[in-house]
Structure 1
Amino acid sequence: MADESPKEVAEASTSNPPSDTESPSSDPTPSTSTPQPSEAQTRLDRFKALQARQKASRSANLKETKTEQTRQATDPALLTQLERRRATASHKLLKAETADFERKRAWDWTAEEAAAWDRRLEKKARHRDDVGFADYTQQARKVYKRQLRDVPPDVAAYEKQKKEAIERAAASGGLEIVETEDGELIAVDRDGSFYSTAESTEFVNSKPEKAAVDRLVDDIRKAEAARMKKRRERGLEDDTGGDVTYINQKNKQFNDKLARFYNKYTSDIRESFERGTAI
């Protein structure tokens, strides 16, 4: 190294520059990608989400439980009674403060609505007066009306059967269809065999549908259930068909009470009377 000239040293330094003087373009670029979360961090986030859902569910359940407990602790009959009293008091107060209250209140209804309401009140009063037993004819009428309400008539099926019967009668010649001047069709019964009379027996050929038979069976079962319910209410379900020692239900209850307390003392006397050996 001592033998080298200064010129050679300068050339060597020029041909091999130091590494820190290299151009910036040759430096490696730093990485800009974000680090991926680890599996433990992902599981921790899911666990926190589940904890939040559990807390929200507990709060909702607690709120609903308190609401249900409050509702069950409140008597609905008492609430209805209080609401009815409040409505009655409001009505009376408004009636006392307003002159000609009934006439002004009627302004809110039409004439048809007022007439329908009057008919409804009249019907309600008539039904209220018709609750008691009058005679067996009226009782049968009430049962018949109740059955009509429970089993509404099938008007569509009736019209269909009527149309088919008219067509059959017209085809057989027993019924004549006459057209009037106005274009209206009138059915004329020539021999009097189409329309039913007191002597007609055509109804025996009618075969009811299965649905109608089932409806009749259900009605009979309901009537039997109602009869047995009334019988149980009167205390007649324990009748064994023995000797009748009472004249009505009150007397039967009194006799049962006496038997419960005194049978152990009077059993020998009664048996002696039955054997005919009593003195």
Structure 2
Amino acid sequence: MDEGSSSSSSAPKKMDFNERFKMLHKMRQTTRKENHEQVVEEDRRSKLPKNHEAKKQRDQWQVQELEERKAAEEKGLDYERVKALELSADVTEKLEQKRKRKKNPDLGFSSYEDMTLRQHTRLTAALEPDLDNYKKMRECVGGEQFYPTADTLIHGSHYPTTSAMDKLVGDVKGQVKRREQYHRRRLYDPDAPIDYINEKNKKFNKKLEKYYGKYTEDIKEDLERGTSI
């Protein structure tokens, strides 16, 4: 009786052990498979270009923008206006400044020819032609004098209006004033007191004078008076 009961009790234990062994073996296979998949994925990512993620995000953003633009057109709305209304004022201002810099980038000084071309482009972009006076001048002059060729002598055939001459004079005066202000920032005053040891210290002292100069006037006067005595 005891032997039968002991054998019957050991059978479930043996079955329980087999079940646990199978479960552990299955978990081990699953873990090994997951580790292998992770290794393969890491190897695939390591072989991708460095800018892959950024390019992927940019592509997703472009697709989303196309979908939003299409939805706005279907509703009869201006996409740029709708997008601008969703942005804050400071973000809109930064985007506008970025657009202007991209349209007219400041490349610095490279040559006098490039500088002249940039000046010409800036001046012509600010022109506001008077179409009424243009039409009147075309009717008065006409012919080859109005549409000259390389062999046409046009001296004395064009008579600018008073408003056009005043506009030209004002523009030239404005250029002169801006040029003077531009160079004035770079003038060197030999009589100015030297209170710096190098250029970096000079700029630092100018910043201190700008923000704290009015609070330290008395101290500086006392120090200069004591030095002179």
**Coarse TM-score class (shorter-chain normalised):** 0.3 to 0.5
What's the TM-score, normalizing by structure 2? 0.39
Q: Going by fraction, where is helix more abundant, 1 or 2?
A: 2
**Greater C-alpha radius of gyration:** 1
Q: What TM-score do you get using the length of structure 1 for normalisation?
A: 0.33
